[in-house]
Amino acid sequence: MPWVEYGFIGGYSGYFPGQGGRGPIFDVHPDWIAKTRQGETRFTAPGGYFYWMIHTHPDVQSFVISLMEELGRNYETIGIQFDRSRYPQLDCGYDDYTINLYQREHNGSGPPTDPANSEWVRWRADKINLFVKTLYNRLKAVNRALLVSNAPGVYPYAYVNFAQDYPGWMRDGALDFTVPQIYRKDIATYLDELNRQIAAVPSIETFVPGIDITNSNPEELVKMIEAGREKKLPGVVVWYYRGLKDSGAFEVLRRTVFRGRARMPWAVSRSNIRLNRSIPGPLPAVP
């Protein structure tokens, strides 16, 4: 199941910088690049800068969705996890397209100069919510058996800092399962955050917590997995393979919480995926 980790990120200065140093996408579509109030297009990343595509732009959304549809249509994958469905920071969304869209919906008034203005944050979060729902509908139109997932930051931190409202995605039925990044180093801090997230979501039926082994150790990882089972959560996702390998967690998990045969939560065979390739009728339109 591919994790499309970069989401709305269109370029990174660390590799494939393209002709303009921001990535090949922006060489072709310079009008797609997201900006701060001051017109800055660089957003800090490890070892360089990320360049983000405009979240509200219909051509950007069509491009991103078409890539996800290609994954679902051409490869035998159980599902797709799309990430970075958020702003890189609150001081973002001041590109010409987003400003004009906001003005059309606010009687000509432009976005607030304060990036943390509550109405401005809510407006941007609602636009992302709409995109997440549209992506879900389009992928289900390609193959109704595909599982659609996302790995958001914890709420309300991600909403306050990145205009990311993942409980809203769950209320909208826009995900088959949600993997909030509850990346904590020990069972005490993990349980505190886990309880906060459970209180924020409409249901735990599709709530699958993400755990970071690179910030912890195998013994604490086992405790976190056991805590989720006690709460009857449907599963767990561990970040990430190298961390599991380097920490020796694989052997610990085999001896403890994963010593028995697992029933995969989706319970969908490859033949079922092939048989459910399409749904009659036209694809839902991108708003």
Q: In terms of residue numbers, what domain contains 232?
A: 182-263
21 and 48 part of one domain: yes
- What is the count of structural domains for the chain? 2
Q: Is the same domain home to 151 and 34?
A: yes
Residues of the chain short of pLDDT 50, as ranges, are: 268-275, 277-287
154 plus 248 within the same structural domain: no
> Is 143 a domain residue?
yes
Q: Distance from first CA to last CA of the chain, Å, rounded?
A: 27
What pLDDT is attached to residue 90? 98
Do 83 and 207 lie in one domain? The reply is no
Asked if 127 and 170 sit in the same domain, the reply is: yes
Q: Is residue 6 located within the same domain as residue 101?
A: yes
Flag whether 274 is in a domain.
no
* Residues 24 and 105 both lie in one domain: yes
Whether residue 42 lies inside any domain: the answer is yes
Torsion of CA 261, 265, 270, 274, to 10 degrees: 170
In this structure, are residues 8 and 84 in contact, taking their beta carbons and an 8 Å threshold?
A: yes
Q: In CATH, what number is assigned to the domain containing residue 36?
A: 3.20.20.80
pLDDT in tens, 44-94: 998 899 999 999 999 999 999 999 999 999 998 999 999 999 999 999 999
**Predicted local confidence at residue 16, as pLDDT:** 85
User: What's the pLDDT at 267?
Assistant: 61
Of the residues 129, 151, 178, the one at which a domain ends: 178
pTM score: 0.90
Would you say residue 278 lies in a domain?
no
Q: 38-55 burial, b for 16+ CB within 10 Å, e for fewer?
A: eeebbbeeeeebbbbbbb
Residues 114 and 126 in one domain: yes
Q: In this structure, are 169 and 200 located in the same domain?
A: no
Q: Taking every pair of C-alpha atoms in the chain, what is the biggest distance, in angstroms?
A: 63
Q: Do 100 and 190 have their domain in common?
A: no
273 within domain boundaries: no
77 and 145 share a domain?
yes
What string of DSSP letters covers the chain? --EETTTTEEEETTB--TTTSS-HHHHH-GGGB---TT----EEETTEEEEEBPTT-HHHHHHHHHHHHHHHHHS--SEEEE---S-SSSS---SHHHHHHHHHTTTTPPPPSSTT-HHHHHHHHHHHHHHHHHHHHHHHHH-TT-EEEE-PPPTTHHHHHH---HHHHHHTT--SEE--B---SSHHHHHHHHHHHHHHSS-STTB--EEEGGGS-HHHHHHHHHHHHHTT-S--EEE-HHHHHHHTHHHHHHHTTTSSPPPPTT---HHHHHHT---SSPPPPP-
What are the CA-CA distances from residue 10 to residues 89, 107, 181, 245, 282 (Å)? 16, 31, 22, 30, 28
What are residue 225's phi and psi, to 5 degrees?
A: -65, -45
The answer to whether residues 63 and 156 belong to one domain is yes
